[in-house]
Every structure is written in C-alpha cells, then in structure tokens.
Copies of this chain bind each other. A is one copy, B any other.
Amino acid sequence: MTIAEQFRINATLALKDADASKKTLGTTLTDKIEAKAADKLQTLKLAEQIAEMQNVLYASRDRKLLVILQGMDTSGKDGTVKGVFGQINPLGARTVAFKAPSNAEKDHDYLWRIHREVPGKGEIVIFNRSHYEDVLITRVHGWIDQAECERRYAHIRDFERMLTETGTIVLKFFLHLSKAEQKRRLEERLSDPDKHWKFDPQDIAERAYWDAYQRAYEKALMATDTDSAPWYVVPADSKTQRNLVIASIVMEALNNMHLHFPPGNPEYSKLLID
C-alpha cells in the first residue's frame, strides 16, 4: 500500500478527533524522541528530492502540479509550505494564500480568482486555502443554502477535471486537527511573545462553529474526491508526521509523472565556436 493509498479519503468519512493524532507511519526506532528526529530527517530528505524534481518539471515544461491545503485555523498550512516545499527554488513554485475575497473578486464567479492562479507548464503552485472555502465558511454561516452548495460541488468537480485533463496533477490535503490541539496552539499564540502576532480573535469566533465545520468538511471532501483530484486526510496534531505524510505523497506523485530533462540537441554544440 502506498502512502497515498493509506491516507486517501474513505468512501464514508467521519472526521473524528482521535484520527487527528493517529500515528500510522511505522518506525523501527523505539525511543520516541529518536523516532521523531528520524521522521524529521526523512521529511528533509523528501523536501530536497521534491526540490530536485521541481527542477526537472521546470526544465521539461510540460506538466503542472497544483497542491491544495485546507484545514482549520492553526492546522499548519503555512508550516506545511515551509516544511515540504521550503527547499524549492522560487523560480518554479508559487504559494497563493486566498483571503476573504476583494470587491472585484466578489463581482465575479467564485472560481474566477482561483483559475487565474492555477499553475502553468513546469510550475508547482500551492494553494493555502482555496475555492473550498466557498463551500465551507459560506455554508457554515448559512451564506449559501444546501442546493447552492451542491451546485458548487459540481462546478468544482468539473473545474478540477478540466485542469487534470489539460495536464495538471491536483493533490488536495485536509490537515486534520483535533479540537484539543487547536486549543493548545491558540493558547501558545497568546502566551508566546514570538507567536502572539499570529493570534487573531476571529479564530476564536470560528472555533465556536467547530462541529459545523467538521460536518461541512466531511460533505465537501466526500463530494469532491475523484480519482484524478483525490483528497488526502492528514493527521495534523503532530507537525512532524503531517509534513512527512504530505512530503511522501507529493514525492510519489512527482515520481509517477516520470519526469526527465529534455534531450539535448547535438547541433547546439556546433554553435559555440570560440
């Protein structure tokens, strides 16, 4: 079983807190600290391999990779970008953080600002939040009804199918955090002067909708999981394990692209005379 298969969303998903901290990656090291260090080292190696592969992706200028990160506040979307994609040359990789839409964005369909940012040939783009907010926060707060939500699931499936059929690999990660771990992380932001800037009172307001968010995520993930644009549910209570799982799945996807540098043109050597 590949790591991708192991974390691919189930046919009947129920987001349980227990699964957020589940340790599923085996290790032969018994000592907990050493196991964690080994996982970190392994992630770093993968991050370096991903960076190398990105170079080939860029040079062969054919395929495109879109990584979508979703998760509750403090689930570690920024940390994933840093830990998994931090070794990549910024030339061929881009992170896009989608915030509340601007007025110009609100004037258009909700996929308009998303489509603008999808990767071009040879590019890796990481979405920190995405069009999935348009079936999550909007649904939790009742800004759209269930019928509109179902229409959007269909738009999203269609849109992602078009992307995959035109050469984009789409990987979607739900960073599955437990409610208790979120509390711990919010407390840390309040007490640690170096992390205080990350605290946003709005996060507390959204935390009150925790159960509604879990249900909205369950529905959205189930409705938009397809073989060409799969959802992975990644236990995110441990940052180390979260990065290792995501790095492993990204690396598997890059390997499956069978990328190689384009062949050289022997005629070119003749051009350089002196």
- Using Cβ atoms and an 8 Å threshold, which residues of chain B touch A33? none
Assembled-state Cα–Cα distance A86/B121 (Å):
39
| A155–B162 touching, CB < 8 Å | yes
Q: Which of the residues B115, B151, B161 comes within 8 Å of A116, measured between beta carbons? A: B115
A163 within 8 A of B: yes
What residue of chain B has the Cβ atom nearest to residue A111's Cβ?
B162
Q: Which of the residues B107, B115, B121, B165 comes within 8 Å of A151, measured between beta carbons? A: B165
| A109–B158 touching, CB < 8 Å | no
Q: Which of the residues B106, B120, B158, B165 comes within 8 Å of A108, measured between beta carbons? A: B120
- Using Cβ atoms and an 8 Å threshold, which residues of chain B touch A109? 118, 162-163, 166-168
Interface residues of A (CB under 8 A from B): 61, 104, 106-112, 115-116, 118, 120-123, 151, 155, 158-159, 161-163, 165-168
- Using Cβ atoms and an 8 Å threshold, which residues of chain B touch A106? 121
- Using Cβ atoms and an 8 Å threshold, which residues of chain B touch A61? 107
Q: List 18 A-B contacts (CB under 8 A).
A: A61-B107, A106-B121, A107-B120, A107-B121, A107-B123, A108-B120, A109-B162, A109-B163, A109-B166, A110-B166, A112-B116, A112-B118, A115-B116, A116-B116, A151-B165, A155-B158, A158-B159, A158-B162
- Using Cβ atoms and an 8 Å threshold, which residues of chain B touch A159? 158-159, 162
Q: A159-B162, A162-B155 are in contact. Are A111 and B107 (CB under 8 A)?
A: no
What is the CB-to-nearest-CB distance from A72 to chain B, in angstroms, rounded to a whole number?
A: 27
What is the CB-to-nearest-CB distance from A98 to chain B, in angstroms, rounded to a whole number?
A: 16
Assembled-state Cα–Cα distance A122/B104 (Å):
12
What is the CB-to-nearest-CB distance from A157 to chain B, in angstroms, rounded to a whole number?
A: 9
| A111–B115 touching, CB < 8 Å | yes
What is the CB-to-nearest-CB distance from A214 to chain B, in angstroms, rounded to a whole number?
A: 27
